[in-house]
Structure 1
Amino acid sequence: MSRFYLFIAALSGFLVVALGAFGAHALEARLPASLLVTWGKAVDYQMFHTLALALTALLGMHYPADRWLKLSARLFMGGIILFSGSLYLLVLTGTRSLGMITPFGGVAFMLGWLSLSLFAAKSYQFKT
């Protein structure tokens, strides 16, 4: 599990740098400012959650059977695809209806963080 998600995180990291550069250089002169902001939001969220996916994969190397980590990794990956992917496609195609997919990615991100917090709560005893 962990090596697969670490591979996906590394690939996503590569892609986010490439897509960020593409937006800054190739799209800047061709798109209105509002769409560039949308592209930037997709890049930002992809980067944040690429790091979260990598962290989850690394934790998974120490806790290979943990279901909360597996779920968290799947949700972060799904969120990247749904949230950032739908925004990239919206900008490139102009198909506004793709914006209806984006909130599902946002929910996947939130559930991924919740799953990670449940792993932490289960794995470590909080002292009051």
Structure 2
Amino acid sequence: MFKLFTILGSINAFLAIGIGAFGAHGLKGKLTQHYLDIYNTGVQYHMMHALGLILVGILAEKVSSSLIGWAGWIMFIGIILFSGSLYVLSISGVDKLGAITPIGGVAFLASWVLVIIAVAKA
């Protein structure tokens, strides 16, 4: 599990940088400031939780608990739902996609709670 989440986190950090650069250079002038702000929020949370996945990978080597694995998968799902919905919303302008974003946010919260519990029990 160490390698899996470390690699998954590193891939997502790479994607967050690429997606952020695309937004800064490719979308400037094509989106309103409102939608650029939404897009940038997606990038910010994407990177934070990519680093979170790397942390989960490191913890997986030190803490033997299935909760760490669950935390990693739920965090990854959170990236897809939270950041992914913000990327699509900002580019498409379909505001109904914003209804998905809080589900991703709850996934982020749940993943961090699982990390806390797993480390506390270790």
What's the TM-score once normalised by structure 1's chain length? 0.91
Alignment size in residue pairs? 122
1:86 to 2:82 alignment: no
Gaps of 5+ in 2: none
What is the Cα deviation at residue 91 of structure 1?
1.2
Distance 1:2 1:96 in 2: 37
Distance 2:104 2:15 in 1: 18
What's the TM-score once normalised by structure 2's chain length? 0.95
Structure 1 or 2, whichever has the larger Rg, is 1
C-alpha contact 2:31 2:91 (8 A) present in aligned 1: no
1:13-28 counterparts in 2 under 5 A? Answer: 13-28=13-28
| Structure 1: 4+ residue segments shifted above 6 A | none
C-alpha contact 2:16 2:43 (8 A) present in aligned 1: yes
C-alpha contact 2:78 2:104 (8 A) present in aligned 1: yes
Secondary structure at 1:91 match in 2: helix
Distance 2:43 2:49 in 1: 10
Identity of aligned residues (%): 37
What is the Cα deviation at residue 34 of structure 1?
0.3
Q: CA-to-partner distance for each residue in 1:68-117, whole Å, 9 max, x for gaps?
A: 11111011101000000000011122221111110000000000110010
Secondary structure at 2:31 match in 1: coil
